[in-house]
Amino acid sequence: PNQDMGYDVSDYLDINPEYGTLADMDVLIGEAKKRGIRIIMDLVVNHTSDEHRWFIESKKPDSPYRDYYYWRKGRKNNKLPPNNWQSMFSGSAWKYDEEVDLWYLHLYGDKQIDLNFHNPKVIEEVKAILRFWLDRGIYGFRCDVINQIYKTTLANGRKRLHQTGREHYLNQEGNHRILREINDEVFSKYDCMTVGETYMVDYQNAKRFIDKELDMVFQFDHVNVDRKKVPLFARRYVPRRLKKILFGWQNNVEWNTNYLENHDQLRSIPRFGDEKNYYLASGKMLAMMIMFLKGTTFIYQGQEIGMTNIGTSDMSLVKDISAINVYGLIRKLGFPHKAALKLVNNINRDNARTPMQWNAQENAGFTTGKPWLTINPNYTRINVENSLNDETSIYHFYKRIINIKKEIPALCYGDFQPLFTSGKLMAFLRTFGNDEYTIILNMSKKRQKNPLFLRGEVVVTNYVGHDNYENQRCLEPFEGALIKTR
């Protein structure tokens, strides 16, 4: 129903008519396979839509689906929610249903109802969903909020400004048990890839998830580097912090997911680079960072052409349910419109969801109709067509470094070693057998002294004409280089 951009599923075994039919999906899978492309799907099983058949049936008193969800009596004669848990989108995580005279749990929107994984039937339903799609030729899943599916207890949580109750549902032992079971009985039987979205995961839990449960996990420490403890509030981005976080994950987890953007994050160039003065240089430096760290690189749509945030001055144009809820909450607390709008622009997921910018024609070539979301006005400059025709574009740089990575085993499978952790330079080694490659990146908009005397072949750099890092005493703003040092 798209109450939260598709993260409210009403039928796990069909395609949303807005996008086509199941037959269309079969054609897509087959045609992609012919071209060497493997399709993975987004698996959303922490919750279903309130329009899902299971939830509708669960409202009936003697329904076998009643225990598919968390229906509970409230406190104070059913006048207050069953506990003090908070929704990820602000407010209580419980909603009262007059028809049933009970409250139901929703960690996200009130139309996204949490499934009860204490019920073995729910786990069997999930296995059946997975087999359905894997048998149709899907090659794996990105598992949405997969470390939150098991609620150990519904006791009150320790009071926090954000996410009260999380100690009872994040990274629980039951969660690991269920994923091991699903992996044993489903994932391990297919040639497939799984990556879990695991909010607030630490090294230890991440290693457990990727041991016998999933192939990889998305952690969020590095994309919260410019956030305060309550992620709604921004703080100044400091490159040294980002480097420390990334190096920590590289040193503690054998195989990482290297990404800077996704459908929930702000665009990376204005966030970690310099959109105004060093757009190309910073975009290419960030590309080198995620491409040459150890692990699997994930590139989000539009990132390869350097798309940027749109921002908004009109809340009526905002589609992100989380941003809308936060704006309402901030206004209720007495903040003026401008202050609330500034906060929204720092978290608004619409920034990453604007339509793909294909060309400089009307609506960026995305549609001849009315776009579902406002198109970034910079589409006449930043678009696929311009990128294809410009050999110096971020797009062509991505193509180049992808090919380099594929050709050099050290960059795919080699060991990782940080060279230094202080300052605004990031430098690390990738080694494989007798081969050694050094990556050095200036993460700032100022020239930085180069403490390394890097003798060797310059494989790639984002600054034309820089081909000798043995004698180069400084790195230019957002300069990056890959050098074969052995």
Which residues belong to the active site? Answer: 144, 197
Round to whole Å and give the CA distance between 287 and 308. Answer: 15
Q: Closest Cα to residue 56, out of 111, 14, 6?
A: 111
Q: Closest Cα to residue 302, out of 270, 345, 257?
A: 270
Helix (H) or strand (E) holding 282: helix 279-292
Q: Is 196 exposed, middle or buried (0-12, 13-18, 19+ CB in 10 A)?
A: buried
Round to whole Å and give the CA distance between 90 and 80. Answer: 16
Q: Closest Cα to residue 64, out of 127, 132, 119?
A: 119
Tokens of 268: 């990376």
Sequence-distant (6+) residues with CB within 8 A of 152 are 168, 169, 172, 173, 174
Helix (H) or strand (E) holding 480: strand 480-484
Round to whole Å and give the CA distance between 19 and 42. Answer: 15
Helix (H) or strand (E) holding 143: strand 140-143
- Please name the amino acid found at residue 214: L
Q: Is 35 exposed, middle or buried (0-12, 13-18, 19+ CB in 10 A)?
A: exposed
Q: Is 471 exposed, middle or buried (0-12, 13-18, 19+ CB in 10 A)?
A: exposed
User: Rounded to the nearest 10 degrees, what angle do helices 279-292 and 394-407 cross at?
Assistant: 20
DSSP track, 290-345: HHHSSEEE---TTGGGT------S-GGG---HHHHHHHHHHHHTT--HHHHHHHHH
Number of Cβ atoms within 10 Å of the Cβ of 56: 14
Q: Which residue has the tokens 């009403």?
A: 10
In angstroms, what CA-CA distances link 400 with 254, 284, 315, 337, 442? 26, 11, 40, 45, 20
Q: Let me know: does 174 contact 99? Beta carbons within 8 Å.
A: no
